[in-house]
Structure 1
Amino acid sequence: MAAVGATPAAGLMGLGELQLKLPATKAQWLALAAGLGLGLVGAELAWHHPLSAPLALAAWGAVVLLAALFWVKTPVLVLAPLPLVGLAPWSGWITFEEMDLLVTAAGCGGYLAYALQLNARDRAPAWRHGIVYSPAVVMLILALALSTLWSVKRGFADAGGFVFGWFHGYHEAMNSVRNAKSLFLALALLPLWTAAAAARPRGFSRGLLLGLVLALAGGSAAALWERLAYTGLLDFSTDYRTTALFWEMHVGGAALDGFLVLTLPFALLALLRTRSPWRFAIGLGIALLAAYAVLTTFSRGVYLALPLALIPMVMLADAQRRRAAASGPESSHIDSTLGPVDEPLPRLAKLGALAMAGAFALAAALVFGGGGYRGLLALFFVMVALLAMPPSLWLPGFAQRLTALLMGGVLALLLGGASWALSMAVPKAAYVLNVVALLCCAALRWKDAPGQSRPIYVLLVTTSWFWLLATMVIVADYWGGTTGRWTSLAAGLALAGVWAAMLVEPRLWPLQGAGSTGKAGWRKRALLVAGLLLVMAIVAALGGGGYLRDRVASWKEDGQTRLTHWREGLRLLHGGRQWLLGKGSGRFVSSNLYEGPIEYQIGDYRLRTDEAEAFLALTGGKHVLGRGEQFRVSQRIPAPAPGPVTITLTSRTATDAHLVLQICEKNLIYPDHCFSAEPLLKPLRAEGAPEGSPGQWQTHRLQLGPVAALGGDWWAPRFVTFSMALDTRGARVDISRIALQDSQGQQLLVNGDFNREMARWFFSSDRHHLPWHIKNAALHVLFEQGLVGLTLLGSAYLLCLVRLSFGRGRDHPLAPAIVAALIGLGTVGAFDSLLDAPRIGFIFFVLLLLGLGLRALPGEGVARVA
């Protein structure tokens, strides 16, 4: 699409400067048609929103207006809210969702602004276009789109033909649309974003970066809320894996895992490049929040993916900086957003950094094992004081530094002995002495005189730091007894040895360059402190709870289970045609239900009608049923008033069936504080009716509870969910009406008669997840699109990685982060399907399609966006 630019002084024009013009080119007329088409689709979706059509339409219209005013920054509007706008557990929608509303609104507003030349800008010259696709890449993208479209057609055929429905489940035709729509939503925005990257390449790149970083912040904040509400922040023993607000995990999967590996590299890249203190502080906070979310996924795939992804990202970013430094004075520095290129660390400094990191990791494990969280916190302050050491310590001569080191060790030993004796005599004195030693270190750091050689100052600093190290041992001893004393003593000796070597040999000190000049030193130290916190969190997760240790220990058994599951999944492909073209989009779950082994024949629900009256047909799985393996149909409800809850149920059944009715505090798949009723439903047949007939409708009144106060605290609320499940294998119960009334007469359910189809109803399988996913992204594509689709997508994936690592896109500002995101998704995708979660698939295809065309502007050298 041709780009529309701006006059040089335009900037972001104010509302008073807006002006509209009729489309003047073929591209603008096409944009007008696209905007109107997306507008019609989006308005129709908003009008049918199950929660509130007027509110959905108003919100959709507001996004359209924002997209029209800031069409270059539409990536922010689309990507930033993604992890927070999945309302399926409230609405009952799974085929359509709020992401669709965001994309159609952004596309409608953006294309109309482009077509009508709102905030019109002069056309940018071709060399300034930030996204350029070669003819071969265009053909590859079109072929991938045609393959996906063909898989949708095959999915319709496998489902018995196309039937439109607003509330189809995983076995019906519209599930083919749900699984395939991510690519087409990304393609719908691609021409608009190509035009935006041509008009203002830096503005577009900043918008894309900001959108992904804000998305990471939102998703990580949701994970923090979930842990705070349901488990507690430091509980690493409970069998509870974070799901945040990713409803796609209602039947298992790794949606949160995929989201984190796709977005975290962008936050880290921005953190490494920004030179603004307040932006750095915000970015560091987001990165630490995301690190906590990563840790609480307890996902071995994520733990493996992040190092494999982030190491190449750092290397590619470093290569960009080196090319910039070598290309001349004009490009050896970056604009004020990024600041100058830092000099690489010498070899001995890298060795010192590795020694410091290794010593701290070992010390953290030892101290936490004996001294708990308090000992670990004292160790953290020891390391902070170490990282804050001033460069003036190395100005005195070697003999003076060695003397200060030896005398400081002796003095600290005397202070440590006296401190230990005082801690034994006075309760809590260990903590007070630790704080006093820390304050002494801080005061001495404040009294530093840069550029002055002061041997006595070196002695004082060394003595105070060694004393702080001794008080760390005392804190661990006070808290953990003998075990804490000896483990922390070993840790203290290791750290003391590392510091002594660095004081004697200044070339080992990793902060020597930054510390001597004072430029950007605060950034390096802050990043190192963040690294310390991350190591502490990992140590706490491994040492503070057995759940992660158990998951790490069971990798071999789980791997064998995966291999068996992959083989069984591929057996569902019959004949060369299905291997070549796939079985169809969204057909894996249904194929498992009808053709898979009995343990994969899970429960199901269907909406039926009988004499023009709707009812829910609920069936139980044929596998061994436990509380976590039951198939549940649920609805989120307001917290009932404490006391009994009355259930009125109208149902019928052909055989005896145990129906489980529950009210629980539950986010997605981990119920807690449940109150249950489990009636045995028996068939009621008219005289002469054959055995096995559905029976007649019966109305039951049941009491559940008394229910206690539910909903959690105001600062960490818990969702309350009502669910229905069958505890009889292979049984079926038809439900035409169900109502809940609490002790104060409040009606808790909406659409209990199913006259609005499945609006407000949702389903889940809390523990039995393998039947719902093939558990490998490549095999997922193979199953749905065959070898043809897998070859096309694999080619695009590899081409994007090569292009952004070594080709024309390698110097684009976001290239290292996109490469890291794709590597991370590929690693997690080796153990989970991922692309069957639409929001994850959308982010992946956005990055993939943009990566196939992104390029750095000529003459800019390294990236100038962060």
Structure 2
Amino acid sequence: MALWIARRPGDIWFLLPAVLPVASFTPWTGWWLADESDLLVLATLGAAYLRWGWDVWSQPAAASRQLPYGVCWVYLVLPPLLVLGVWRGLDDARGAEPWAALLSDLWAQGFYGDYDLPGNTLRVAKSLAWGLLLMPALYRWGQGAALRLARGMVAGLVVVCTAVLWERCVYADGLDFNEPYRTSAWFWEMHVGGGAIDAYLALALPFAWWAALVARRGWRWVAAAALLVVAIYAVLTTYSRGVYLSVSLALAALAVLLHRYRIVSPDRSVWHWRAIVCLVAILVVETLTVLLGGSFMSDRLARSGADLSQRMAHWQRGVALLRTPTQWLLGLGVGRLPAHYSTQTFAGAPAGQVRWKHSADGSTQAWLAGPAGPDMRGEVALVQRVPLVSGGTYKVRLGVEVSGSARMALRLCERHLLYAFKCQTRLVHVPLSREARITGLELALQGPDLAPPRVLSGVRYGVLSVTVLGPDESVGLHAIELLDPYGQQVIKNPSFLLGERYWNIIADGNFLPWHMDNLFLELLIERGLVGLGVFMVLASGALAMTVRGMQRYSPLAPVIGVAMSAVFVLGSVVSFIEIPRVSIMLWLLLAVSPLVIDD
């Protein structure tokens, strides 16, 4: 990527939206604070600024492209606001500890952590930091930026749709709409729920619609139409009512705007319009097939009233976290919502917890805790992704330490992310003896043969999960081994000699502590009225620029404006500002809006 951008720096606009949707391998690496998307941005920044320096050195007289008019205020307002939010977040997280101890903990944490720890402040803040660092390079090579961005969004959507088809075919029957399985593609940030794929599809679908409307006849139009059909399938299989509404409004508005501003197919032929009508008919049939061909969506629609009441109660509990005038004005601090919500609201009490304990001798233990109370819904599990083989049942070998009795669930399931299919399980009560520390405890899992021989079995992964079930119970793990039916140990870093590497957590059944489920309320709670107000001004300014671009008949102004509007509509029921990959893609749309005026 660095070599590509050093050679063709203007392709930043294309490469970032094309690669970001799959620039994360968290289930394999265990990285959390940073991932491959950060490496991608760093490579982009390094190559772009090196190329800029080379151009200035080799051609001193060459004119530099300045920041567009109306953008400079961003650098007067957002950096101080970001620094203030990070400072408030870290200050809130350190409590009574000195700053030196907090910084030492962050350094020791490395790429790993959890959402209620200080590192979450840095994780959430980095998307805005990356955006501010990228903007000068983006505007330096802003010629044709809107078209490059549009093509990048289409390329990224192709990748996401491929991931969706793979996921549905491998883990769930692609045409089974009764199974309560919601697509997540390559958005691993959804291991604690959230709307990462929802926000991405709201951003990207208008570009697929644009591609189908303006593509020339022949293979280009067929490819664009096929992409739109698969993208709508991806939208439908999220079973998200918010995505349904925002995407429907976006596609209808885009069709009207493209017709209003006479942005039509290059050939302007009757064939093209007939093809569009046929495509719309196919999309309608596809939508009815998914909605009426199974019971899952109808059940969700029937629960809409109850779900809305629960969500409104969730919003009220979140806003109630703001208790002082300073908190209302400046927020709790960037990334601090999960920590406050899980400790200050009964409904937000964690369904479990995983903490890593590093000893002075260099050893590491994973301490798993059960739910905070007997009536808490959901689970939090320590997990690792493993390949599956058929031929019998697996065995788990544990090294455990307990302070009292505890009930544990060991599960090995065919699983992509949140939803488990066939599982081999074992429930165990520890300690099995009077010893507080047990080594080499071997347990045979029970259940059906996993990944039976068939076409796609070779690419179906499993997930080993370890959960503490009882309230106020905890277990310390100092080793976990998984033996396949042939006796081969398949777990990476089984004795935690490499710390948290390769291990993750997955939440199940309760996602309230991690998300506000409302973009604007999450901004209010973490960044206060000041942060929310600045965001509204920034978003309104970007939309206003796209309107000016439409008035000048810029061909991509309607697409960019509708894409931003769609994600803001979705933001009324989904929060995604805490998901850096999606936030960076929204930032790219905000950044390109001044350029559509001159496109």
TM-score norm. by structure 2 comes to: 0.92
Task: Say which structure is richer in helix.
Answer: 1
Q: C-alpha distance in 2, partners of 1:724/1:822?
A: 40
**Which residue of 198, 201, 205 maps to 1:257?**
198
Q: C-alpha distance in 1, partners of 2:41/2:371?
A: 37
1:195 deviates by 1.2
1:179 corresponding residue in structure 2: 124
Q: C-alpha distance in 2, partners of 1:124/1:811?
A: 31
1:91 deviates by 0.9
**Which residue of 210, 225, 229 maps to 2:151?**
210
5+ long unaligned stretches in structure 1: 1-62, 323-333, 343-519, 687-694, 858-862
For the pair 1:700 / 2:450, whether they are aligned, the reply is: no
1:93 deviates by 0.7
Q: C-alpha distance in 1, partners of 2:166/2:482?
A: 28
1:123 deviates by 8.3
1:685 deviates by 6.7
CA change 1:220–1:623 in 2 (3 A) is: farther
SS in 2 for 1:678: strand
Q: C-alpha distance in 2, partners of 1:624/1:141?
A: 50
CA change 1:140–1:191 in 2 (3 A) is: closer
Identity of aligned residues (%): 31
TM-score norm. by structure 1 comes to: 0.64
**Which residue of 35, 38, 44 maps to 1:100?**
38
Q: C-alpha distance in 2, partners of 1:292/1:625?
A: 37
**Which residue of 147, 156, 171 maps to 2:81?**
147
1:620 corresponding residue in structure 2: 370
**Which residue of 780, 803, 810 maps to 2:545?**
803
Q: C-alpha distance in 1, partners of 2:151/2:511?
A: 34
Q: C-alpha distance in 1, partners of 2:481/2:90?
A: 35
2:345 corresponding residue in structure 1: 596
1:622 deviates by 2.1
1:606 corresponding residue in structure 2: 355
CA change 1:810–1:707 in 2 (3 A) is: farther
**Which residue of 421, 426, 429 maps to 1:672?**
421
Q: What is the CA deviation profile of residues 652-709 of structure 1, one whole-angstrom value per residue up to 9, with x for unaligned ones?
A: 11221111111100000001100011110138778xxxxxxxx445542211136614
SS in 2 for 1:642: coil
SS in 2 for 1:616: strand
1:724 deviates by 0.5
SS in 2 for 1:737: strand
For the pair 1:757 / 2:499, whether they are aligned, the reply is: yes
Contact 1:711/1:719 (<8 A) preserved: no
Q: What is the CA deviation profile of residues 806-865 of structure 1, one whole-angstrom value per residue up to 9, with x for unaligned ones?
A: 3698644321111111111111111111111111111111111222x21443xxxxx6xx
Q: C-alpha distance in 2, partners of 1:751/1:209?
A: 42
2:99 corresponding residue in structure 1: none
1:848 corresponding residue in structure 2: 590
Q: What is the CA deviation profile of residues 76-133 of structure 1, one whole-angstrom value per residue up to 9, with x for unaligned ones?
A: 222212222321111111110111111111221222223213998998989xx6x852
Contact 2:37/2:581 (<8 A) preserved: yes
SS in 1 for 2:412: strand
For the pair 1:743 / 2:492, whether they are aligned, the reply is: no
Q: C-alpha distance in 2, partners of 1:298/1:832?
A: 14
Contact 1:599/1:624 (<8 A) preserved: no
Q: What is the CA deviation profile of residues 24-72 of structure 1, one whole-angstrom value per residue up to 9, with x for unaligned ones?
A: xxxxxxxxxxxxxxxxxxxxxxxxxxxxxxxxxxxxxxx1111111211
Q: What is the CA deviation profile of residues 398-426 of structure 1, one whole-angstrom value per residue up to 9, with x for unaligned ones?
A: xxxxxxxxxxxxxxxxxxxxxxxxxxxxx
Amino acid at match of 1:739: E
**Which residue of 339, 345, 368 maps to 2:266?**
339
1:623 deviates by 4.7
Q: C-alpha distance in 2, partners of 1:311/1:641?
A: 48
Contact 2:30/2:500 (<8 A) preserved: yes
1:394 corresponding residue in structure 2: none
Q: C-alpha distance in 2, partners of 1:87/1:303?
A: 28
CA change 1:843–1:623 in 2 (3 A) is: farther
1:87 corresponding residue in structure 2: 25
List aligned pairs for 1:412-811, cutoff 5 A: 520-598=269-347, 600-612=349-361, 613-623=363-373, 629-682=378-431, 695-705=436-446, 708-710=449-451, 713-715=454-456, 717-806=459-548, 811=553
SS in 2 for 1:631: strand
For the pair 1:229 / 2:170, whether they are aligned, the reply is: yes
Amino acid at match of 1:158: D
Q: C-alpha distance in 1, partners of 2:62/2:278?
A: 44
Q: C-alpha distance in 1, partners of 2:118/2:242?
A: 32
Q: C-alpha distance in 1, partners of 2:473/2:129?
A: 39
Q: What is the CA deviation profile of residues 456-495 of structure 1, one whole-angstrom value per residue up to 9, with x for unaligned ones?
A: xxxxxxxxxxxxxxxxxxxxxxxxxxxxxxxxxxxxxxxx
Pairwise CA RMSD: 2.5
5+ long unaligned stretches in structure 2: 95-101
Over 6 Å off, 4+ runs? 118-126, 683-686
Higher Rg of the two aligned structures: 1
CA change 1:255–1:311 in 2 (3 A) is: same
Q: C-alpha distance in 2, partners of 1:254/1:195?
A: 33
Contact 2:128/2:584 (<8 A) preserved: yes
Q: C-alpha distance in 1, partners of 2:552/2:235?
A: 28
Q: C-alpha distance in 2, partners of 1:187/1:205?
A: 19
Contact 2:524/2:532 (<8 A) preserved: yes
CA change 1:619–1:810 in 2 (3 A) is: farther
CA change 1:623–1:718 in 2 (3 A) is: farther
CA change 1:658–1:229 in 2 (3 A) is: same
**Which residue of 201, 209, 228 maps to 1:287?**
228
Q: C-alpha distance in 1, partners of 2:390/2:232?
A: 38
SS in 2 for 1:740: strand
Q: C-alpha distance in 2, partners of 1:648/1:272?
A: 58
